[in-house]
């Protein structure tokens, strides 16, 4: 199975699917807009280079930001600021305070930030510095749309330097949060600390090959994609950096703070300046300092970064590295199961695109989202990916917010209320099993790496109950004590369903299922090809009409009430019952 370009209008089913996977879900108006576009046209609405970064969070104690300017005694304490940062990020996923025309691209960028966070993971308890977390989060944002990302040369006649995923890997190697998280700051000449070097190879770049297949390991310490030698030599290459507690060292490419060198002035005297040799897995590449970047034969920041560049180049020269990154993308946006056939087809195709586009991520995503394989595949239902991902707690919460147009309080103008409401969101996703910025292990949240179950791990009895409970509470328009704006079921129906159609109870149930559930291209009563069974639809119909048992002839009574506007209280309660039943269902856990 290889990629087959899709050159026709998306239609409603594919449009809704694309929007669920990229922007957590959508309003019906957005689905309708996308339905009339080809994938290429649709993607221009998702990738926008011109977006500004969101303004940083506000500390209610001071009324101003602290990420850029730093804290004083007047600020809230660190753990609270850290929590504000997390809530701020969740707020950005709902669209922050963007204008309508950029909103989808804005949210998609946050989804990519989330993806990069699941890849280059971190733990807040280890980093223990909310500014470092914020700047790392910003770094991911800078690299989210990377197709046209470049460094403008000082001389306009020179060719700009392209920035790509490899550049991001290099930035991450010396990122303050990462230097803390995986002990890079302790890795010095003569006393290497291998923690980061190992995870760089195993998790962030070369990977471990296709899970569940033979790795062709040929000798002791060989993992098929890298070896123990590469870990040890890599630690030396990466040595000599330290966390910059003042965030005063700025990376000219990104304008963001980065780690500092250990040493005196320009001399990186804790960097191991010897020649390093990688294993046969990287063609025995030799990494040596560039003499032009040394000062008096001694290492400098530039020479150390140049060695990292050489190292990253060597890692990405191995095709398996591109495949590892593309498997991550496929699992995050497509489906978790990668058979040998998919690996030889789709994954290899994506990897070729990744390599051919100079290791930029955006072209890979564009190709994937514009291929038939991202949607219904070629034949039957076997290669269909609709509804194949169990939503993460964030997908569920943000997706629900998107569909019901939930608006959080303004995070700049009304930070106190914003934090109260978003605290409820944050706490809810933790209760559902996603301890945000605190994955249990250094490989990150297990849903994104644990073979063979992947995101099936999101579902346990307890977590499922928490999911149902969340939807139910928020449907009432409250987040704990804080009222939030969102469409009540009756408002939703008025806005998104044809008035006459809604007067027929069965048609209404079928249409709401089509709009809210992921496998719903054909849903109707009395139809063998309906993707929800007759019994299942009857269950929803009963939930809708029979909860109060006040009507002798419930379907007819609904039509009369709806058409004539009788007894609006009963109408809204009945619709509430229907939406509860649909949203608190296994089907709604899938996207």
Partner 1 sequence: MERRKFLKKLGFAAGMPFALSGIPIQILASHEPLKNLLHKSTNDNVLVILQMHGGNDSLNSFIPIDAYDQYYSRRANIAIPYRSGNRTLIPLDSTLADPDQVGLHPDMIDFKSMYDQGQAAVYQGVSYPKNNGSHFRGRDIWFMGGDYDDYFSSGWIGRYLNLAYTPSSYPDDFPNAEMPDPLALEMGNDSSLVFHQEGNIPTSISLGNSPGQLLDQIENLEGFQDQGVDPRGLPPEFLNGSAYKKEMDWILGLEDKSETYIKRLQEIYLASSDSSIEYPSIYPFNAPSNSRRNPLSGQLQLVSRLLGGGIKTKVFLVKIGGFDSHADQVESNDTTMGVHATKMYHISAALKAFQQDLKNRGISDKVLTVTMSEFGRRIGSNGSYGTDHGKGGSVMLFGDKVNAGVFGTNPDLSKSNIEMQFDYRQLYSGILHDWFGVEQSVINQDIFFKDFFNAKDEDGSPLPDVKIISDKITGNKDWLVERFNVSSPFPNPAKYYTQLNVHSNIKGIAQLQILDQKGTVIKSMKENLQQGKTEIKINTDFLKQGMYYLKIDAQNIHETKKLVIQ
| Integer Cα distance of 414 and 105 in angstroms | 24
User: Is residue 464 involved in binding partner 1 (CB under 8 A)?
Assistant: yes
* Residue 183: closest CA among 268, 266, 259: 259
User: Could you tell me the smallest distance in angstroms from the CB atom of residue 587 to partner 1?
Assistant: 5
Contacts of partner 1 in 173-212 (CB under 8 A): 182-183, 186-188, 190-195, 198, 202, 208, 211-212
* Residue 591: closest CA among 19, 3, 7, 121: 19
Q: What three-state secondary structure class fits 177?
A: helix
Q: Which is nearer to partner 1, 178 or 390 (CB)?
A: 390
- 3 state SS for 85-97: HHHHHHHHHCCCC
| Integer Cα distance of 265 and 339 in angstroms | 53
Q: What three-state secondary structure class fits 101?
A: helix
Q: Which is nearer to partner 1, 284 or 460 (CB)?
A: 460
User: Could you tell me the smallest distance in angstroms from the CB atom of residue 469 to partner 1?
Assistant: 4
User: Could you tell me the smallest distance in angstroms from the CB atom of residue 7 to partner 1?
Assistant: 24
- Is the separation of the CB atoms in 505 and 372 below 8 Å? no
Dihedral sign, Cα of residue 309, residue 315, residue 318, residue 322: negative
Q: Which is nearer to partner 1, 228 or 313 (CB)?
A: 228
User: Is residue 453 involved in binding partner 1 (CB under 8 A)?
Assistant: yes
Q: What three-state secondary structure class fits 295?
A: strand
Q: Which is nearer to partner 1, 9 or 521 (CB)?
A: 521
DSSP secondary structure of 375-399: TT-SSTTTT--TT-SBPPHHHHHHH
Q: Which is nearer to partner 1, 249 or 443 (CB)?
A: 443
Q: Which x/- pattern, by CB under 8 A, does the window 467-486 give for partner 1?
A: -xx--x--------------
User: Could you tell me the smallest distance in angstroms from the CB atom of residue 151 to partner 1?
Assistant: 34
User: Is residue 535 involved in binding partner 1 (CB under 8 A)?
Assistant: yes
Query: How does DSSP classify residue 587?
Result: G
Query: How does DSSP classify residue 476?
Result: T
Tell which one of 459, 488, 560, 571 touches partner 1 (CB under 8 A).
459
Q: Which is nearer to partner 1, 16 or 163 (CB)?
A: 16
User: Could you tell me the smallest distance in angstroms from the CB atom of residue 233 to partner 1?
Assistant: 13
Alpha helices (H) in 208-347, listed in sequence order: 228-237, 301-316, 319-333, 340-342
* Residue 410: closest CA among 45, 26, 54: 54
Query: How does DSSP classify residue 201?
Result: I
- Is the separation of the CB atoms in 136 and 184 below 8 Å? no
- Is the separation of the CB atoms in 393 and 79 below 8 Å? no
Q: Could you tell me how far CA 141 lies from the centroid of its own chain?
A: 11
User: CA dist 556 to 249, 536, 565, Å?
Assistant: 71, 21, 14
User: Could you tell me the smallest distance in angstroms from the CB atom of residue 516 to partner 1?
Assistant: 13
Contacts of partner 1 in 223-252 (CB under 8 A): 223, 228, 231
User: Could you tell me the smallest distance in angstroms from the CB atom of residue 346 to partner 1?
Assistant: 14
- Is the separation of the CB atoms in 324 and 181 below 8 Å? no
Tell which one of 148, 246, 290, 460 touches partner 1 (CB under 8 A).
460
Question: 177: which 2 tokens?
Answer: 């949060």
User: Is residue 83 involved in binding partner 1 (CB under 8 A)?
Assistant: no
Tell which one of 324, 372, 449, 506 touches partner 1 (CB under 8 A).
449
Size of the site for partner 1 (CB under 8 A): 90
User: Could you tell me the smallest distance in angstroms from the CB atom of residue 134 to partner 1?
Assistant: 23
| Integer Cα distance of 383 and 406 in angstroms | 34
User: Is residue 519 involved in binding partner 1 (CB under 8 A)?
Assistant: yes
User: Could you tell me the smallest distance in angstroms from the CB atom of residue 185 to partner 1?
Assistant: 9
User: Is residue 530 involved in binding partner 1 (CB under 8 A)?
Assistant: yes
User: What's the start-to-end Cα distance of the chain, in Å?
Assistant: 22
Tell which one of 259, 433, 439, 554 touches partner 1 (CB under 8 A).
433
| Integer Cα distance of 539 and 578 in angstroms | 10
Tell which one of 62, 446, 504, 572 touches partner 1 (CB under 8 A).
446
User: Could you tell me the smallest distance in angstroms from the CB atom of residue 427 to partner 1?
Assistant: 11
Tell which one of 44, 125, 317, 500 touches partner 1 (CB under 8 A).
125
User: Is residue 73 involved in binding partner 1 (CB under 8 A)?
Assistant: no
User: Is residue 526 involved in binding partner 1 (CB under 8 A)?
Assistant: no
Tell which one of 76, 504, 542, 559 touches partner 1 (CB under 8 A).
542
User: Is residue 269 involved in binding partner 1 (CB under 8 A)?
Assistant: no
Q: Which is nearer to partner 1, 161 or 453 (CB)?
A: 453
User: Could you tell me the smallest distance in angstroms from the CB atom of residue 34 to partner 1?
Assistant: 21
Contacts of partner 1 in 317-376 (CB under 8 A): 335, 337
Torsion of CA 183, 185, 188, 193, to 10 degrees: 0
User: Is residue 60 involved in binding partner 1 (CB under 8 A)?
Assistant: no
User: Is residue 552 involved in binding partner 1 (CB under 8 A)?
Assistant: no
Contacts of partner 1 in 565-584 (CB under 8 A): 577, 580-581, 584
Neighbouring CB atoms inside 10 A of 377's CB total: 18
User: Is residue 389 involved in binding partner 1 (CB under 8 A)?
Assistant: yes
Torsion of CA 497, 98, 90, 21, to 10 degrees: 50
User: Is residue 441 involved in binding partner 1 (CB under 8 A)?
Assistant: yes
Q: Which is nearer to partner 1, 440 or 566 (CB)?
A: 440
| Integer Cα distance of 176 and 126 in angstroms | 12
């Amino acid at each position: 199975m290889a990629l087959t370009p899709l050159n026709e209008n998306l239609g409603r089913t594919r449009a809704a699917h694309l929007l669920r996977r990229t922007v957590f879900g959508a309003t019906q108006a957005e689905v309708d807009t996308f339905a009339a576009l080809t994938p290429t046209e649709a993607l221009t609405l998702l990738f926008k280079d011109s977006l500004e970064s969101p303004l940083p969070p506000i500390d209610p104690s001071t009324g101003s930001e602290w990420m850029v300017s730093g804290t004083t005694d007047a600020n809230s304490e660190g753990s609270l600021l850290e929590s504000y940062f997390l809530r701020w990020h969740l707020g950005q996923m709902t669209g922050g305070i963007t204008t309508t025309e950029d909103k989808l691209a804005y949210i998609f960028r946050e989804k990519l930030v989330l993806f990069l966070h699941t890849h280059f993971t971190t733990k807040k308890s280890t980093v223990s510095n909310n500014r470092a977390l914020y700047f790392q989060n910003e770094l991911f944002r800078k690299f989210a749309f990377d197709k046209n990302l470049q460094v403008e040369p000082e001389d306009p006649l020179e060719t700009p330097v392209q920035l790509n995923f490899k550049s991001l890997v290099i930035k991450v190697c010396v990122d303050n949060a990462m230097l803390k998280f995986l002990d890079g700051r302790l890795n010095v000449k003569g006393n290497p600390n291998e923690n980061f070097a190992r995870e760089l190879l195993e998790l962030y770049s070369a990977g471990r090959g296709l899970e569940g297949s033979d790795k062709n390991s040929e000798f002791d310490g060989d993992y098929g994609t890298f070896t123990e030698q590469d870990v040890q030599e890599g630690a030396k290459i990466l040595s000599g950096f330290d966390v910059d507690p003042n965030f005063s060292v700025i990376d000219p490419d990104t304008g963001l703070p980065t780690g500092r060198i250990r040493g005196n002035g320009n001399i990186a005297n804790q960097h191991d300046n010897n020649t390093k040799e990688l294993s046969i897995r990287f063609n025995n590449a030799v990494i040596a300092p560039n003499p032009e970047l040394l000062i008096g034969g001694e290492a400098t920041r530039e020479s150390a970064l140049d060695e990292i560049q050489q190292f990253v180049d060597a890692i990405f020269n191995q095709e398996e590295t591109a495949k590892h990154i593309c498997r991550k993308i496929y699992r995050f946006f497509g489906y978790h199961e990668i058979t040998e056939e998919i690996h030889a087809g789709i994954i290899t195709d994506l990897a070729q695109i990744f390599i051919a586009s100079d290791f930029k991520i955006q072209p890979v995503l564009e190709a994937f989202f514009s291929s038939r394989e991202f949607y219904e595949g070629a034949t039957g239902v076997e290669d269909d990916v609709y509804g194949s991902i169990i939503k993460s707690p964030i997908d569920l919460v943000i997706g629900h917010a998107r569909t019901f147009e939930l608006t959080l309080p303004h995070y700049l103008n009304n930070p106190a209320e914003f934090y109260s409401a978003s605290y409820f969101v944050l706490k809810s996703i933790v209760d559902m099993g996603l301890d945000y910025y605190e994955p249990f292990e250094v490989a990150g949240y297990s849903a994104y790496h644990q073979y063979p179950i992947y995101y099936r791990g999101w579902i346990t009895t307890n977590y499922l109950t928490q999911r149902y409970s969340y939807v139910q509470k928020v449907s009432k328009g409250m987040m704990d004590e804080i009222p939030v704006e969102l469409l009540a079921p009756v408002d939703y129906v008025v806005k998104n369903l044809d008035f006459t159609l809604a007067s027929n109870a069965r048609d209404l149930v079928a249409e709401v299922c089509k709009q809210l559930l992921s496998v719903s291209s054909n849903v109707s009563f009395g139809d063998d090809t309906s993707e929800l069974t007759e019994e299942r639809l009857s269950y929803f119909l009963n939930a809708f009409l029979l909860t109060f048992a006040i009507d002798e002839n419930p379907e007819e009574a609904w039509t009369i009430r709806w058409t004539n506007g009788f007894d609006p209280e009963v109408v809204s309660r009945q619709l509430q019952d229907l939406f509860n039943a649909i949203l608190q269902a296994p089907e709604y856990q899938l996207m």
